[in-house]
Amino acid sequence: MADATNPIEQFQIKPIVDFSIAGYDLSFTNSSYFMVAAVLLIVTLLSVATGKRALVPGRAQSVAELTYEFVAGMIRSTAGPDGLRFFPLVFTLFAFVLMSNMLGMMHYFPAPGLKGFTTTSHLIVTIGLAAIVMSVVVGYGVYKNGFGFLKLFVPSGVPAAVLPFVVLIEVISFLSRPISLSVRLFANMLAGHILLKVFAGFIVMLGAAGGAWAALGILPFFMVVAITALEFLVAFLQAYVFAILTCIYLSDALHPGH
């Protein structure tokens, strides 16, 4: 009963296979399970969908093609055509975040314990994703532009007197990108799932109270239905936002200097 209404129990990481190296706990957890499940699902679905290579796509193939076009269009419009060299990275990130978010929307899942889990509701996962993005941005930016990459921190048309300040602020602003990128995804998923669980908990509590209270339980029920719909939107939207911000940051690596 306590578990049924505890809104943050769903985020607990439980080891499935215990494993440790030199005192470091490297257990295969439910979080790892859902990451592997997301990757396997993406790979399987996409290869099944595109396996036939029909000239006139069927339903599955057009979904795959739509996703491809969607991501390609996103890169083209934000980072320019030369940003398309990063298509594999952006598509992978988008697909992974989207699939993780969507798997998180399932309350029951064929996993040990049969519980659903949202990997993206853990800050460490989203920070890891953001770190990948930022290392690609910095790495490619320096590789392609050399010291020219530092132009990113020097906006044009600023008087020399305030330039040091502005550069400092720009550097801080740049360093804050991975934080805001990861915190946004994490906070959205965490808050949404807590909200869902809290309202679902109200139903259980009102039902347990019995009598007229139980009849009132219909109200949080409608709320849960509405929030579930909203959460599906958020799940997609956050994957989209993550991908589009990746594109915008990558465009800085391609074309530094404002």
Partner 1 sequence: MSRREEPTFTTPPDPDDFETRLNAKLEARRRAEAEARKGPSGWALGVRYGSEFTGGVIVGGGLGYIADLVFGWTPFGLLVGVCLGFAAGALNVVRAAQSMNNASGAEDGPRDDA
Q: Which candidate, 96, 168, 188, places its Cα nearest to that of 133?
A: 96
Binding of partner 1 by 176 (CB under 8 A)? yes
Q: Residues 172, 219, 225, 226: which binds partner 1 (CB under 8 A)?
A: 172
Stretch that binds partner 1, among 45-53, 54-62, 105-113, 166-174 (CB under 8 A): 166-174
Residue 144 is inside which H or E element, if any?
helix 123-145
Rounded Cα–Cα distance for residues 107 and 203 (Å): 16
Binding of partner 1 by 126 (CB under 8 A)? no
Rounded Cα–Cα distance for residues 146 and 19 (Å): 43
Binding of partner 1 by 252 (CB under 8 A)? yes
- Under DSSP, the state recorded for 80 is -
Number of residues that bind partner 1 (CB under 8 A): 31
Q: Which is nearer to partner 1, 33 or 193 (CB)?
A: 193
Q: Is 79 exposed, middle or buried (0-12, 13-18, 19+ CB in 10 A)?
A: buried
Residues composing the chain:
258
Binding of partner 1 by 151 (CB under 8 A)? no
Q: Which candidate, 94, 76, 97, 95, places its Cα nearest to that of 85?
A: 76
Return the residues of window 20-79 that contact partner 1 according to CB under 8 A: 77-79
- Which tokens go with 118? 């949202």
- Which tokens go with 169? 């602020």
Smallest separation (angstroms) from partner 1 to the CB of 79: 8
Rounded Cα–Cα distance for residues 1 and 204 (Å): 9
Binding of partner 1 by 120 (CB under 8 A)? no
Smallest separation (angstroms) from partner 1 to the CB of 181: 8
Q: Which is nearer to partner 1, 61 or 101 (CB)?
A: 101
Torsion angle in degrees (nearest 10) through CA of 26, 24, 138, 173: 100
Q: Residues 184, 194, 207, 228: which binds partner 1 (CB under 8 A)?
A: 184
Rounded Cα–Cα distance for residues 140 and 134 (Å): 10
Q: Residues 230, 232, 254, 257: which binds partner 1 (CB under 8 A)?
A: 230
Q: Which is nearer to partner 1, 74 or 203 (CB)?
A: 74
Q: Is 69 exposed, middle or buried (0-12, 13-18, 19+ CB in 10 A)?
A: exposed
Q: Which is nearer to partner 1, 115 or 151 (CB)?
A: 151
Q: Which is nearer to partner 1, 77 or 135 (CB)?
A: 77
Smallest separation (angstroms) from partner 1 to the CB of 231: 10
Smallest separation (angstroms) from partner 1 to the CB of 201: 20
3-class secondary-structure state, position 112: coil
The site for partner 1 (CB under 8 A) is made up of: 77-80, 165, 168-170, 172-173, 175-177, 179-181, 183-184, 187-188, 191, 230, 233-234, 237-238, 241, 248-249, 251-252
